[in-house]
Every structure is written in structure tokens, then in C-alpha cells.
Structure 1
Amino acid sequence: MAAVIGAVAVAVATFLVASGDSDPAGPRELTSDQANRLAVARFRNYQAGGRAVTINVPGTAGGLVITGSIDYRGHVGYGVLHGTGRDASGDGLIEWTATTVFVHPMANAPAKAPAQPPGSGWYSRPLQKYGSSLDSSLAIALKLGSDRPDNAQLLPQNGAAWVGQERLDGQRVDIMTGPSAGATSGTAGAVRYWIGSDGTMYRVRVGVASASQPVVIDFDTQKYVPVRPVPGVTPTR
């Protein structure tokens, strides 16, 4: 499955507004070219080393937005966390691995995380596998990279399909669905991928049990800044 991802949830209303150039016409069976592009999407993230991301995590008390970078070879993410439609008490810097979340609270969090993380003031906790939309989103985002392509022949058998086309950030992309063990329904369609002509991943939308709205992960929303570990973080390379 092209992008095995863990439990997560959430989305942003603005994300659901398709561009005027969208062309929803699916679902339809993937062509061999589309299956091949979906199969290499996570591998392309790994090949790139890292990607700039914006992760939108909706919630009943207001959403959360993480703006930062993910090192797909070191399996670590880093960025700045801002609340939307809620107070700023949870704002600050955040770094995470597959098992641990590190937070650095800030009264006036910057729009972008500093390239060099602060050397102190960090608090750590285990990454929750269930019940937290934020942690689910972090886990999913990390799993969107793989050191090898997925099996293109198995994707259609597992329910992957073509949904339509859209112009996103000036790029013509295909929207495809794929099954995910972490999706709310556990079926194809609960996860959508926006994939470019060369297999580049531009957006992922994932529905999960911990939220009524999907999580939305956008790539290349700003310049990629290499992730530097905070005290206590040991990237796996």
C-alpha cells in the first residue's frame, strides 16, 4: 500500500475548496502509469531526504497547524505549532520521532521555526498511538517516506483508485485514493494523495477515528530547512 500510515485525523475547511481547474470524475481504476506514480511517491520523499510540510489538524476546540520540515531519512520532524480558532497557550516549537514528541512552549511563537532549535526549554512525552489527532497526524506525516517503492501491482488489488485531477500550486496533479489501516473507515477512499506527473507527493488527506474531519498534509509550502535534533533526540540514519 502506497503510504502505510498510522491513526490520525483532521482537516481544514479551506482545504476542501477545490480549485476552479479541478476535474473530479472518478473513482476509476488506476492506469499502470498512475499506479507506478503512486507506488514511488513515498520513495521520492525518501530520495529527496526531506520535505517542507504544513500539517493541518482540525479539532472541536479549534485546529492546530504545524509548519516545518520532515527528514525522511532520519525519521524526525521539526516545526512551529500554532492554534487556529483557539487561544495560543499551546503554541511553540515541536519536534517528533515515531515514539516521542518534544515541545518548547512559546508565548509568541514565530511564523517559522528557527533553523537551530533552542538548546533548552524542551519537554518530552511519548507519542500517543490512539486518541490524539495531533499525535496521529505527526505519525502519519513521518510514514509518508519509504526507502523503497511500493508494489504498483498490488495497489489496485488493495482498492487504490483514481478520483480526478486538480491544479495545485501551479502543478497538474492526479488525485488518487489508497487503503490505510489508520483511516476512519479502513477502506480505500479514506486516504487521498495528490500526485504529480513524476510521482511527487503534493498533498495527503487522511480520515481517522479520533476526528470527524480529515488531517491534511501539504508539501513544499515553504523552503525546506534541514532538521536538527533537539536535546534528547537521536535521529535514526
Structure 2
Amino acid sequence: MTPPHRRTLPCLPAYGIVLTLMTLLSTSACTQDKPPVPATATTAPALTTPQAELLALTRFTNYRRGATQVTADIPVQGRIARLTGRLDWRHGAGLAILQGNGGFLEHGRHLLRWDRTTVSVQRNWTEPLPTHPPRDGWIQRALTTRASTIDTTLLLLLDLAADRPDNAQLLLHSGARRVGHEKVAGVPVTVFTGPSSATPQGTASGAARTGPGRTRYWIDADGRLRRFSARLGGGTEWLVATLSV
């Protein structure tokens, strides 16, 4: 797929899983039948070294996969919008159909393509998801994560991949936790909460506290991310994204 403006994935710091995701979550606001993780998340023990290594490799594993199918339920103004499409992690771009439910898309079914800086929309899309984005008919604008949970979601989905592993030793002391075991589409997974603070350049000082347990990762035994969830902004509802393998 060809993004609106192709950009090379940035060289992320070793603590990238904290800096990229937590920065997005602190600037933005799917519910499901049960909480995304067990209620014991805040009292779960710290990660072991093998668990930290598994979590540290997750975004790099996604990058090596190159692409994935995604279905995401996005909280929008008290309701849920559903995004269904493809992520091109190697090139930092996405193509998906959004069943709009409030926000800048109002209502309807729309085709979206995006990269890390812009999103383009074809409103009232009636066809299936195309193999390649159409050449014409797009309305393009800059992503605005401070005002839109949809835009925040688009960036979060791209930032689930990185061209190098995160630092497992730093994750050991980041507040990340293993909170249980579940199954996603019949596949056993380990459930982790993400880091609870961002430490620029991996240093011990200057941490920007973000609150514990705002991200969730469902990772299988091969290190593949099967599901991702995030509590956006100060809201209580959760983005929930399920990824194919």
C-alpha cells in the first residue's frame, strides 16, 4: 500500500515502548463485556527477565512481520467506532474502513489511509476494502491526536512496530507487569500491562508519570502480539485492537 507521505520508521530509543505509546496516551480520551485484564493488575509482581525479554521483542517482531490485519473498537464521544483493515508496519502506513460514529467523520462508513503525520478519507465508502488505495477522491488533513481518539488510535497502531527491540533491562523497572493468561482466537497468550512511566533516554530521572496499567498486550508463545488495548486520555473506556497473524 502507498501511504499519503511515506516516511522511514524513526530510530526509537531503547525505551521506545514507553516513550511512543505513553506520549500518545497522555494527549488524547471499545468497551467490552469484561475488563481488558484481571483486576489484580495493580498488585501483580514485577516482570521476570524472560517476561521482560518477551515484551521487549514484541514491537520488533511486529516490524519483522511487515503487515497485519486489524480490527479495532475505538471510543468516540461515548460511543464505539469500528476500524477494520491492514497495517503496513514496514512503511508506517494503514488502510482501513471505519464505521464512523461521531467525531470528524460524523456517521457512516468511510475509507481511511494514514501515515504518522496525515490521514486521508473517502467518505461514504460502499465497496469492500481495496487491495490498493484509490488514486483519487481523498480528503487529506493532519493527524490531531490532542482532539481525536480516532487519530490517537491510528498512531498507536503504527507504533506497535519498531525496527529494533526495546530494552528489556529497562522494562524490568518500568512498572510493566504480567497479569495473567488467556486465549485469543483459541491461541494461549500471556497478558501484560505496559510501563507506567516514561524515562527520557532511559535515564533514572525526569520520569513523566502517566499512571499504571493504561496499556495491555496479549502476546503468544512465539512473541506475536494478538491483541492490544489502551485507555485513551483521562477516559474510562478502552481502545481494543485484535491483530491477525
Q: Name the TM-score, length of structure 1 as normaliser.
A: 0.80
Gap runs ≥5 in structure 1: 225-237
Partner-residue secondary structure (3-state), 2:81: strand
Match of 1:189 among 195, 207, 213: 213
Aligned to 1:97: 115
Rate the CA distance shift 1:95–1:199 in 2: closer, same or farther, 3 A.
same
Cα distance between partner residues in 2 of 1:189 and 1:17: 10
Q: Match for 2:138 among 122, 142, 147?
A: 122
Q: Are 1:147 and 2:171 an aligned pair?
A: no
Q: Which has the higher helix share?
A: 2
1:95 partner amino acid: R
Distance 1:207 1:127 in 2: 19
The residue correspondences of 1:61-210 to structure 2 (distance < 5 A) are 61-83=78-100, 89-106=107-124, 108=126, 110=127, 112-179=128-195, 186-209=210-233
Question: CA RMSD of the aligned region, Å?
Answer: 2.8
Aligned partner of 1:232 in structure 2 is none
What's the CA shift for 1:121? 1.2
8 A contact 1:92–1:107 mirrored in 2: yes
Higher relative contact order (CA 8 A, sep 6+): 1
Q: Does 1:11 align with 2:30?
A: yes
Q: Distance in 2 between matches of 1:79 and 1:189?
A: 28
In structure 1, what is the Cα distance between the partners aligned to 2:142 and 2:196?
23
**SS state of the match for residue 153, structure 2?**
helix
Q: Say if 1:15 and 1:73 are closer, same or farther in 2 by CA, change over 3 A.
A: farther
Deviation at 1:27, TM superposition (A): 1.5
1:53 aligns with 2:70: yes
Secondary structure in 1 aligned to 2:181?
strand
Structure 2: runs of 5 or more not aligned: 1-14, 199-208
Contact 2:181–2:188 (8 Å) recurs in 1: yes
1:149-196 Cα offsets, whole Å, 9 max, x none, are 1111110211111111101111111111112679xx713311111111
CA contact (8 A) 1:133 1:211 kept: no
Cα 1:202–1:146 change in 2 (3 A) is: same
